[in-house]
Amino acid sequence: MKVVKFGGSSLADAAHVQKVIQIVQSDPERKVIVTSAPGKRFAEDVKVTDLLIKYANAIINGSEASTIVETIFDRYQQIGSGFDVPKSVLDDIKAKLIALPTQSYPNDDYLMAAFKAHGERLNAELFAACLTESGTKARFIDPSEAGILCDNPNGATVLEQTYANLANLSYGEERLVFPGFFGFTLDGNIATFARGGSDITGSILARGLNADLYENFTDVDAIFSANPKIVPDAQPIHKMTFREMRELSYAGFSVFNDEAIIPAIQGQVPINVKNTNNPNLPGTLIVPEKDFTSKKPVTGIAASNRFSALYLHRYLLNKEVGFTLKILQILYKYDVSYEHMPSGIDDLTIIFDRSQLDHDTIKKMCHDIQIELNPDTLDWIDDYAIIMVVGEGMRARVGTIENIIRPLAEHDISVHMINQGASRISIMLGTRQSDADAAVKYIYQHFFKEDPSVNQLEYQAEV
């Protein structure tokens, strides 16, 4: 049995929904279908989820919202009119949209979550009707019926009990259509995952229903070995491991939500990323490590500019007991998590995800560190990018670091930090943000284009 998830662009209009229906009908194993809300039909279009956020904000601020309700409803009507869905289905969608402000919510966070979730909830109802009209019996299943339990209204995490609930879900001949992106709190309120969270629902269902495969249909042919915006002819990755995907998504491989892979890993369910517009292509298969034999040292290269770093220097730092503890206490005080902390004999760099920090927090945090730890140098470095070079085969080949650094040196790109993960399947580099794209390009060229032997495993070293 396969769990199949379709992203917002795959369900953006009737023509796309038609393709999705063909994909579902072409394989009887595609039993469980997860839908996103209708996404963008063209570059300037607005996703239904963003329209619902606007609707929620209008209600919170007491503003007029009828125009926005019409705009949202039009999206569903356009899809429904491509199929002969009963009028009652569309009437029901409209009624539910209009009724959203009349429901009671514990607070505005829950109100926001409930409004957002209706993008997928109404789309799943509509999709089940379209599929049934097209000759394949389908049933809409609400996360409350399936027992998908989460902990907080926005940016929720799934509760373990969900998997026991899903194991009890019985199904027969018909296909099951689940809305992605949300579950329910123990109090029975709607809670949404992070943006892009329909991927998470798909993964939870794949684990909970013990699927053989989780197919994730999107609008790209595969995951590529480098961002095609930087390297236009980057090779598609045919097969990679869960670990490789985790490491790459960390530095911006954003094909699907990076939390989404975790339930699939826990259930050891392989993921196949495929293109709705090109469903016969193999896409990218992401598998457990035990099902993978590496043929080359480097699978993919990614870069992200979303980082900042704090550099501290003080003599004999390595001898001082409790230095890092004091820093961590300060981070804890400001509720800040860090990404990495490479250290040397007299110095230490702490790398942060910039999106969680505002100017004021940085100022206060640096001030406390200066007072409590009295470093000789304290520099806040806003201009920080991380490059990840990832490959399961890396540990079976000597000299990968040299091959990463050489093209950078040849192009005068300086490297501020190098860190090889304990798993030995990734090497992380810190560079200036303005160098990041060029670094990806030159490393890619060196491994994938200039000399094919650089990215081949000649022998299996000790692993």
* Residue list for the binding site for substrate: 49, 120
Which is nearer to ligand ASP, 181 or 448 (by Cβ)? 181
Strands 377-390 and 175-179: unpaired
Residue ranges in 223-282 that form contacts with ligand ASP under rule CB under 6 A: none
Residue ranges in 24-43 that form contacts with ligand ASP under rule CB under 6 A: 36-37
Which is nearer to ligand ASP, 8 or 283 (by Cβ)? 8
Segment (H or E) for 3: strand 2-6
Q: How far is the CB of 192 from ligand ASP (least distance, A)?
A: 8
**Cα separation, 224 vs 234, whole angstroms:** 6
**Cα separation, 429 vs 417, whole angstroms:** 5
Q: Which residue is nearest to ligand ASP (CB)?
A: 198
Contact criterion met (CB below 8 Å) for 6 and 130: no
Q: Does 181 bind ligand ASP (CB under 6 A)?
A: yes
Which is nearer to ligand ASP, 47 or 446 (by Cβ)? 47
DSSP-assigned letter for residue 304: E
DSSP-assigned letter for residue 449: I
Q: Does 119 bind ligand ASP (CB under 6 A)?
A: yes
Torsion of the alpha carbons at 353, 354, 355 and 361, rounded to the nearest 10? 110
Q: How far is the CB of 52 from ligand ASP (least distance, A)?
A: 9
- Point out the annotated binding site: 5-8, 49, 120, 218-219
Name which position in 195, 306, 314, 406 contacts ligand ASP (CB under 6 A). Answer: 195
Name which position in 80, 179, 183, 196 contacts ligand ASP (CB under 6 A). Answer: 196
CA 197 to chain centre: 8
The dihedrals phi and psi of 219, each to the nearest 5 degrees, come to -115, 20
Strands 182-184 and 190-192: antiparallel
Contact criterion met (CB below 8 Å) for 245 and 251: no
List beta partners, residue 184. Answer: 149, 190
Pick the piece of the chain touching ligand ASP (CB under 6 A) from 64-72, 79-87, 194-202, 335-343.
194-202
CA 150 to chain centre: 18
Tell me which amino acid residue 382 is. Answer: D
Pick the piece of the chain touching ligand ASP (CB under 6 A) from 197-205, 236-244, 306-314, 341-349.
197-205
Which is nearer to ligand ASP, 12 or 408 (by Cβ)? 12
Q: How far is the CB of 367 from ligand ASP (least distance, A)?
A: 37
Q: How far is the CB of 214 from ligand ASP (least distance, A)?
A: 14
Interacting residues with ligand ASP (CB under 6 A): 8, 36-37, 47, 49, 119-120, 180-181, 195-199
